[in-house]
Amino acid sequence: MGIKSLFGFGQARDKPVDKAADAGYSFLFGRTTSGKPVNERTAMQTTAVYACVRILAEAVASLPLHVYEYQDDGGKKLVHDHPLYYLLHDEPNPEMTSFVFRETLMSHLLIWGNAYAQIIRDGAGRVLGLYPLLPDKMDVQRDDKGNIYYVYSRNSDENPMFKEYGNIRLKAEDVLHIPGLGFDGLIGYSPIAMAKNAVGMTLACEEYGASFFANGANPGGVLEHPGVLKDPSKVRESWNSVYRGVSNAHKIAVLEEGMKYQQIGIPPEEAQFLETRKFQVNEIARLYRIPPHMVGDLDKSSFSNIEQQSLEFVKYTLDPWVIRWEQSLQRSLLLPGEKGKYFIKLNVDGLLRGDYQSRMNGYAVGRQNGWFSANDIREMENMNPIPDEEGGNLYLINGAMTKLADAGAFAKTDTGQQDAPAQENSGKRGKR
């Protein structure tokens, strides 16, 4: 049995069949070795998963998203009048802002491993709107010619652009699909499904802690009776109704008929409960490659390394997601004739900004060495530009610098030759 058939990942792309792949990874959800069922919704009930998903979803949603045009001189130009600019930067549809739309799709990507949106086009193929589609209702298939198409199972009113219920077939050009990590390049697989045992253990730890405190934050005990009880369950229920629970903690117990209460010591697994919970938080942070200090674990963080960890978060965690978004948006939204002329970019420069002193030192180096103008710096600091006639766009360089090849050119000039004897005599006088 091959690895594809073992995991149900579908057929290879070079062998078109009626069905390419689907949301079959959902079978990976379910009961775990800890005994706790894990799915996309129960996973979000853990604070670690919720925090990681929220951090990444809000980070991607808050980045400036622009459409640029390539220039003949190799530069780029921000294009405000392109139809996609307003949709991506402001409102992809009348019901959502750009932030909410991107946050929603990114949360789908982090939980299900895929993000889908319906593309509404006009007769010329230009994009008029984008509406999110739920990944657990989407099925990706391939027709007898090998072409990809999508089947959406609609049983609720989450999308106002659909008029009918049931299975709705969508052409590939009508779906924005951002896949996560997968094995066939078509379908991403859910991080939660792949790490369901780690998530299940986190859920079990939380339930264990809740049960522990529901019992008054005390371990169990034994009631000893000198005689024979006809109905032990009645005694146990009577005891629990009076003394069990946080609200009944520290009440004075009254024992009759010579009964004694013997408390059972806290077992080692209970004593290590908090350490276990802390480890599970790090497990979830590792799953999403989030620095622990960003989910509240400051044990190994300090003033000197938090800034470096934050920069590494942008470089190693956020950048791959940003590239997935950019390339998927360009592939699906730009018309064939526009792909060599325009590109879409999420700007992460704002997240890489250092503190005020570091930024000013960097600007000073760039200004003195000629690759920053005053207006370049003011733009990065969100300041209005200086008019061109006042020198706002001048590029300056230190006048004392010269090319290495010209370093000895001064000695060959007429002035240099006239001054040479005087310098020689001066040297002789200095030796006397």
Would you state the pLDDT for residue 358? 76
Burial per residue of 58-75, b for 16 or more beta-carbon CB atoms within 10 angstroms, e otherwise: ebbbebebbbbeeeeeee
Q: Write out the residue range of the structural domain in which residue 293 sits.
A: 1-219+268-352
Q: Is residue 295 domain-shared with residue 147, that is, in the same domain? A: yes
- Residues 401-410, mean pLDDT to the nearest whole number: 68
The last residue of one of the domains, among 318, 352, 386, is 352
| 323 within some domain | yes
Same domain, 288 and 188: yes
In a domain, 399, yes or no: no
The pTM for the full model equals 0.70
| Between 35 and 382, the higher pLDDT residue | 382
Is the same domain home to 191 and 225? Answer: no
Task: State the pLDDT at residue 262.
Answer: 63
Residue 71 belongs to a domain: yes
Give the pLDDT band (50/70/90) at residue 8.
very low
Residues 146 and 239 in one domain: no
Helix segments in 8-165, DSSP class H: 40-43, 47-62, 83-89, 98-111
Residue 45 lies in a domain: yes
What backbone phi and psi angles, to 5 degrees, belong to 69? Answer: -120, 135
Residue at which a domain ends, from 326, 352, 378: 352
User: What per-residue confidence (pLDDT) applies to 312?
Assistant: 85
Is residue 61 pLDDT above 50, yes or no? yes
Q: Does one domain contain both 15 and 100?
A: yes
Give mean pLDDT, residues 72-98: 92
For residue range 113-139, list pLDDT tens digits in order.
999 999 999 988 999 999 999 999 999
pLDDT-wise least confident of 81-95, 293-307, 318-332, 350-364: 293-307
Split into its structural domains, the chain has a count of: 2
Residue that terminates a domain, selected from 236, 264, 292: 264
Residue 239 and residue 256 in one domain: yes
Verify that 172 and 294 share a domain, yes or no.
yes
- pLDDT tier at 255, thresholds 50, 70, 90: low
Same domain, 255 and 113: no
Taking CA atoms, 254 is separated from 115, 220, 224, 260, in Å, by 61, 17, 13, 10
**Residue 428: inside a domain, yes or no?**
no
253 and 279 together in one domain? no
pLDDT computed for residue 170 by the predictor: 93
Q: What is the mean pLDDT of residues 219-225?
A: 60
Structure-model confidence comparison of residues 274 and 101, the more confident one: 101
- pLDDT at residue 200 is higher than 90: no
- pLDDT top residue among 57 and 421: 57
Residue 414 lies in a domain: no
As a whole number of angstroms, the distance between CA 180 and CA 289 comes to: 14
Residue 345's pLDDT is: 93
Whether 30 and 159 map to the same domain: the answer is yes
Residues 106, 255: one domain? no
Q: Is 176 part of any domain?
A: yes
- The predicted-structure confidence for 259-312, as pLDDT tens digits, reads as follows 666 665 555 555 555 566 677 788 888 889 998 888 877 766 666 677 777 888
Which of 1-5, 167-171, 219-223 is the most confident on average? 167-171
CB atoms within 10 A of CB 430: 7
What is the pLDDT at residue 92?
A: 96
- Per-residue pLDDT band for 17 (boundaries 50, 70, 90) equals very low
Q: Give pLDDT, residue 292.
A: 83
Residue 395 in domain? no
Mean pLDDT of all residues belonging to the chain = 77
User: 249 or 277: which carries more pLDDT confidence?
Assistant: 277
One domain, residues 16 and 54: yes
Q: What percent of the chain has pLDDT over 70?
A: 66
Cα-based angle 40, 42, 45 (whole degrees, multiple of 5): 115
SS3 content of the chain, % helix, strand, coil (to 5): 45, 15, 40
* Residue predicted with more confidence, 384 or 100: 100
Residue 42 has pLDDT above 50, yes or no: yes
**Residue 38 CB coordination number (10 Å):** 26
> Residue 9's pLDDT is what?
41
